[in-house]
Amino acid sequence: MHNLSFSYISSYISLILATTIWGFGFVAVKESVTHITPIQVLFIRFFSSAFFLIIIYYNSIRSSRLQTIKRGFILGFFLFLAFWTQTIGIFYTTPGKNAFLTSTNVVIVPFLYWLIRGKKPKFFHIVSALLCVLGVFLLSYSGDAFYLNKGDFFSLLCALFFGFHIVFTDIFIKNDDLINLSFWQFLTVSLISLLLILIKYNFVWFKNLVFIIIGEKNKRLLFSLVYICLFSTLLAYILQTYSQKFIKPYITSIILSTEAIWGYLASYLLYKEDINLPTILGCGLILSSAIIVSLIDLKTN
């Protein structure tokens, strides 16, 4: 009984820590894209993640089925689009807004599930979606006019692609190994990113990256990349995987929805991002819509 209680407590601590790491990761990504291109950030992030996974789980990954590899490619494609649009979005908007607009995928998922699986969304899904749209409006309200900038648009696209990724993950994960599926999707993201980099920059980009980090002694960029690769991807992923052994999915989704709060907090502390009444109300509505979906799903299921 004591060991079981410790496992539950440590699981909650692990998940909260992972969520906090991801929230502050928005700032690290923002810092990275001010020095190198978003596509380069994606390659570095996911190639390193795939590299560490194959070192740790080599025996499991080498025995992957062809079906797992194909599914990993599909997930990796949507994951690439999601992170690519998110990374572009964070370049043109603030980390806080990017974090909250990305979180709208929680209410997008039921409608995508209806489109793909034929299961209609319930009334509370529609109410939550309307709350979320209102929250996005308030978050994008500037002075006396509604203002949805280029970064906000890409952040919303990111939420859509994350929604597709979540739905297809739900379909695939029932018959596949989590680690193997994760490796192949990480590798897919890194290969697509590398292909686009080589088309545009050839191999000069790597030399330029080394010069930016070492030649210019850019410690901020180096720290940001290390944080993104080791903490936001590898460590946070392991923490979440461990925690979900003991915490039910709907509780997990509620805790993960607080990621946007940490993102805005990090943006406020490090970038002095403005926080006013419309911003607070917008964030509150978006977060409330995510929590409503999770809590009512808990009650109905």
At 103, the pLDDT band (50, 70, 90 cuts) reads confident
Residue with the larger pLDDT of the pair 165 and 270: 165
Q: How far is CA 171 from the centre of its chain?
A: 19
Highest mean predicted confidence (pLDDT) among 18-27, 47-56, 161-170, 240-249 = 47-56
Whether the Cβ atoms of residue 124 and residue 292 lie closer than 8 Å to each other: yes
Contacts with 36 (C-beta within 8 Å, 6 or more apart), sequence order: 209, 212, 221
Q: Is residue 274 helix, strand or coil?
A: coil
Contacts with 255 (C-beta within 8 Å, 6 or more apart), sequence order: 12, 15, 16, 19, 247
Q: What are phi and psi of 126, to 5 degrees?
A: -65, -45
Q: Is residue 133 helix, strand or coil?
A: helix
- The average pLDDT across 101-126 equals 78
Whether the Cβ atoms of residue 201 and residue 36 lie closer than 8 Å to each other: no
Q: How far apart are CA 162 and CA 78, in angstroms?
A: 7
Which residues, in sequence order, are bridge partners of residue 141? 146
pLDDT surpasses 70 at 144: no
Whether the Cβ atoms of residue 48 and residue 229 lie closer than 8 Å to each other: yes
Q: How far is CA 1 from the centre of its chain?
A: 35
- The average pLDDT across 117-144 equals 73
What is the tens place of the pLDDT at every residue in 231-252?
Answer: 998 888 778 767 766 766 556 6
What is the tens place of the pLDDT at every residue in 40-83?
Answer: 888 888 999 899 999 989 999 998 999 999 999 999 999 899 88
pLDDT surpasses 60 at 109: yes
Contacts with 9 (C-beta within 8 Å, 6 or more apart), sequence order: none
- The average pLDDT across 267-291 equals 76
Distances (CA, A) of 73 to 48, 69, 77: 17, 6, 6
Q: How far apart are CA 288 and CA 257, in angstroms?
A: 9
Quickly list H helices, 176-276: 178-201, 204-210, 219-226, 236-243, 249-256, 259-271
Whether the Cβ atoms of residue 265 and residue 23 lie closer than 8 Å to each other: yes
Domain extent listing, the chain? 2-300
Highest mean predicted confidence (pLDDT) among 48-57, 208-217, 251-260 = 48-57
pLDDT surpasses 90 at 132: no
**Rounded to two decimals, what is the model's pTM?**
0.76
Residue found under tokens 């590398």: 194
